[in-house]
Chain A
Amino acid sequence: MIINNLKNLGSKIDQTIFACLMVILVVGLVTLYSADHSQTNEFISQVANITLGLIGLFVMSNTKPKIIFTYTPFIFIAGLILLIWVKFFGLESNGAQRWIDIGILKFQPSELMKLAIPLTLAWFYQNNENNITVQSHVIASIILGIPFYLILTQPDLGTALMISFSAFAIIFSAGLARKFIISSSLLLLISSPFLWHSLEKYQQSRILNLLDPFQDALGAGYQTIQSLIALGSGGLIGKGWMNSTQTQLNFLPEATTDFIFAVYSEEFGFIGVLAILSVYIIFLLRLSFMTSRMQDTFSRLATLGLIVSIFSGVLVNLGMISGLLPIVGAPLPFFSYGGTSMVVSLVSIGIIMSLYSHKSLIAN
């Protein structure tokens, strides 16, 4: 009976997705082993993070979409409260307040928003699915706006951008008229100088640095340069596992978190990069296919939002370490060291599996 139950438990798991995930997680752990020089032994705690995340994945994949749908507003409100909490009582590190310390573990509420925003917007459109008007899109924007502002002012530009990407994708797919897309793009363009001034000094210098990182090699350009050196010196086949000089000699900053893929690139070369990114692409295609098969607005929009949330994370991270984007602080999903990000990402996949495998839920 127990075996039967376990079988049932596994039945909601999509095999392609799970296989892709396992490859990425294992490669991530192998790379972390090489990159980790800290006293705290991040490797062991990452194994714990993954275990916790996979349990979350299993649990969520077996949770009925109805329940997820019902609890969505609470997740959002809880996330907002945590964000406000972090604003006043959060732990500060590297000039940003992003953490909440609840005794045994530290927790990043902004990561939770990567999950909460897609679910909430999908929930909102589902509730108004017969009457989606311009007004709906405005309300959706407000739902995004509040957490966006709280995260941006932490400050955490990377996460703020990623949740807005996923929100825009949902609003866009929920049928935003073409003229609004064009006019809001124009609005963004016009307001960009003001947005520029609202950025922190260090954020501005990071963006400027993108144009010429070597100009300020020891200052703001340092991280980009060291990352580019790691990538470039890795070459086609890489220096081999544990042989990254950039990492072993500590030239590469944040080698276990934001820059872990630079370590991977240095040790396994372009061949390795191509291999793992192929897995990510299969992963994306499979998730897209699953989305297209979904029946209800909530499932479709939530899944799409989560996909964009995860893959904009992938793109921002890779763009950052390869010098295409400024250093904004974005972990590589399923790869970088970090508890909240890992658990939230895996739980998101669990939710997608649930929405996919249970198919017709809201119908009842």
Chain B
Amino acid sequence: MQKNQLRFVFTKRLGIIVGILLILLTIVILKFFFLQVIQHNYFQQKATNNSIKLIPIAPARGLILDRHNKILAENKLVYNLELDPTIKHDFEAIQKHLKSIAPIEDADVAQYRKITKENYYSSTVPIKSNLSQREVASFLARQYLMENITLVARLERFYPFNEYGSHVVGYINRINKEDIKELQRKKKFSLYKGTDHIGKTGVEQMFQDSIHGAPGFKKIEVDAKGRVIRTIEVQDPKHGDNLQLTIDIDLQKIAVEAFQGEKGALIAMDPNNGEILAYVSQPDFNPNLFVNGIDHKNWGRLNNDKSKPMLDRVIRGIYPPGSTLKPFIALAALENNLRKPPYTIFDPGYFTMPNGSKTFRDWKREGHGEVDLIKAIAVSCDTFFYGLGLELGIVKMNNTLRAFGFGEQTGVDMLNEKKGLLADEEWKKNNRGKRWFAGETVITAIGQGYTQVTPIQLAHATAKIAVANKYKTPHLRLNKSSPLQEYDVMSDMPRHDDLMQFIKKGMEDVTAPGGTAAFLANNHYKIAAKTGTAQVFGLKGGEYIEEDLPDHLKDHALLIAYAPANKPQLAIAIVVEHGGNGGSTAGPIAKKVFDYYLQKSQ
């Protein structure tokens, strides 16, 4: 290539190169225009999000008190060592490091892993909770060595009465993924910013919203390393409301202890206003185990226990009512103009179907002789009710039972209450695909057959007998300062007091000489009651000899009662699972509860 040619090529190619540079510069300018003018708002928002942070301030959870202001659930100040779950940690190194300061067990590490895997966390997560003062001091002195571990003061839920209130008070636990879904569905998740715990059972769950409160926030400006430059705005949280229960924790303790380890449930309520004073489901558990996520060992123990300590039998235990149903069947008879005293029947110890197809035995083999409605309740005469049931028919019986609240939720302020069951022809056709037999109507009248009730339904219905028309919905939240309208709903059961008198008399005679719970008689007050024994094991022609049967096949013992009979102050329902005869097992429990409550209030 020659010199001149070279110069020519150069000039041309210089033009090309400068042209390319200018085009590229134009592209860059266009890109700047796009970013700075067209997309300005988008990036403006990004810049704000970069530097302005909202830090939620969690509200303090409200206390739960009993009716006499005894604390059932409180917040205890604890010091935890916590880790940031967004960072990977070398647990062995941490354990080694803290060995002489605040030893961390393998179980603590497992628990930390479980929480960070399954639960929601708004900030740091404890690796060791509830440090002693010595541990706190020791950690503070050497804190600079462990910059990833922070000492955090937290308000931790504490249930001072441990097992005693377990089912009614319930417990809180860390928020898990299902809780988040549920909160998002209810559009309440934003209220849980900064909160790690949520009520899982009992009133902790039922009144979660009001006990929890609403978070506040702190608006801060931060730099790229997250350091706070300044606080722009602070809004204080709305702390949770305290919750006062109708429960009398002292009465509750008496009732729990009266069970002496038996399984079952007890409800004691003031029939005049529907306030529940004792709410016992046995066996129980210690709610404090759950507060920071229950550990594997305890959870396995509670969950695999055949006696189901986690089951709230008061509202979710389903039992055949046995003879405790008889007073209500008796009222059904009276309302249908049947068996009104002094009408009597003769009980030979059995009842035979009119067509002679089947014979039903009375619990007393030799029979009760001449029996009117009052005596039939007092001695729990099966024969009287067999014939009555057949004559009334299942529809009329169920109508009256429904008016007493059976087969429906009572509306007590607890979640997931069971409805029980009032079976009839249609139910059997739909659920068993079979025809209804007249014999099934007969045994329904003595509380066997398909009928199923919950302990709270029994207490509810008993209270209705005790106070007739003045009845209010059973409830757990004490209606003290602000009147709670929802409890003032009167039941739609205008019963004739004159008919109710016969039922009451029958129940009073249960504790009179000759009655099935005569031993409940005492000099201080009169108890009206009805015992029941609910068959668990179908006896096919064989004899029932209690002592010979293994525990889990023994009958359930039931008792409903109210006292004082003339001016009822307390109505109770008791189920003792596999307790055998109703009067002998459930009776003493009732006696202790009545004694404590009625004698204390006098």
Contact = CB atoms under 8 A, between A and B. Distances in A.
A172 B13 contact: yes
A175 B43 contact: no
B224 A250 contact: yes
B24 A315 contact: yes
A138 interface: no
B544 interface: no
B219 to A, nearest CB: 15
Contact of A246 (B22, B35, B50): B50
Interface in B1-53: 1-3, 5-6, 9-11, 13-14, 17-18, 21-22, 24-25, 27-29, 31-33, 35-37, 39-40, 42-44, 46-47, 50-51
Interface residues of B, number: 40
Interface in A320-348: 322-324
B225 A250 contact: yes
B28 A246 contact: no
A236 B37 contact: yes
B40 A232 contact: yes
B221 interface: yes
Contacts of B10: 173-175, 297, 300-301, 304
A308 B223 CA distance: 38
B28 A249 contact: no
B17 A235 contact: no
Nearest to B18: A288
A353 to B, nearest CB: 18
Contacts of B35: 228, 231-232, 322-323
Contact of A288 (B14, B37, B40): B14
Contacts of A164: none
A129 interface: yes
B229 interface: yes
B14 A234 contact: no
B229 A249 contact: yes
A245 interface: yes
B94 interface: no
B36 A232 contact: yes
A259 B87 CA distance: 29
Given A233-B44, A235-B37, A250-B225, A284 B6 contact: no
Given A315-B21, A315-B25, A129 B224 contact: no
Interface string B272-299: 0000000000000000000000000000
A281 B25 contact: yes
A229 interface: yes
A151 B236 CA distance: 58
A249 B1 contact: no
A94 interface: no
B14 A277 contact: no
Contacts of B32: 231, 265, 270, 273, 318, 322
Contacts of B39: 232
Interface string B209-249: 00000000000011111000100000000000000000000
Contacts of A133: 1
Nearest to A319: B28
A236 B34 CA distance: 10
Contacts of A301: 10
Contacts of A175: 1, 5-6, 9-10
Contacts of A250: 223-225
Contact of B223 (A249, A292, A323): A249
State the majority secondary structure of interface residues on B.
helix
Contacts, number: 137
Contacts of A129: 3, 6
Contacts of B50: 226, 229, 245-246, 249, 251
A130 B2 contact: yes
A277 B9 CA distance: 29
Nearest to B221: A249
A13 interface: no
Given A249-B51, A304-B14, A235 B36 contact: yes
Contacts of B18: 284-285, 288, 307
Contacts of B46: 229, 232-233
A277 B25 contact: yes
Contacts of B31: 319, 322-324
From B31, B32, B222, name the one whose CB has the most chain A CB atoms within 10 angstroms: B32
B43 A324 contact: no
Given A245-B50, A284-B21, A315 B28 contact: yes
Contacts of B225: 250
A274 interface: yes
B427 to A, nearest CB: 59
Interface in A229-284: 229-236, 245-246, 249-251, 265, 269-270, 273-274, 277, 280-281, 284
A50 B25 CA distance: 25
Nearest to A325: B28
B9 A304 contact: no
B4 to A, nearest CB: 11
A324 B36 contact: no
A228 B43 contact: yes
Contacts of A236: 36-37, 40
A198 B219 CA distance: 47
A107 to B, nearest CB: 29
Contact of B28 (A172, A229, A322): A322
Contacts of A297: 3, 6, 10
B22 A281 contact: yes
Interface string A130-167: 10110000000000000000000000000000000000
Interface in A280-298: 280-281, 284-285, 288, 291-292, 297
Contacts of A220: none
Contact of A292 (B11, B33, B221): B11
A270 B37 contact: yes
A169 B17 contact: yes
Contacts of B40: 232-236
A311 interface: yes
Contacts of A322: 28, 31-32, 35
Contacts of B6: 129, 132, 174-175, 297
A280 B25 contact: yes
Interface core residue of B13, B14, B39, B223 (most chain A CB under 10 Å): B14
A42 to B, nearest CB: 18
Contacts of A132: 1, 6
A318 to B, nearest CB: 5
A226 B9 CA distance: 44
Interface of B: 1-3, 5-6, 9-11, 13-14, 17-18, 21-22, 24-25, 27-29, 31-33, 35-37, 39-40, 42-44, 46-47, 50-51, 221-225, 229
10 contacts: A231-B43, A232-B36, A235-B36, A236-B37, A250-B223, A270-B32, A273-B32, A288-B14, A322-B32, A324-B31
Given A228-B35, A234-B36, A304-B14, 14 more contacts: A175-B1, A232-B35, A232-B39, A233-B47, A235-B36, A249-B50, A249-B51, A297-B6, A304-B17, A307-B18, A308-B17, A315-B25, A315-B28, A324-B31
Closest 5 CB pairs of A and B: A232-B43, A233-B47, A270-B36, A250-B224, A249-B223
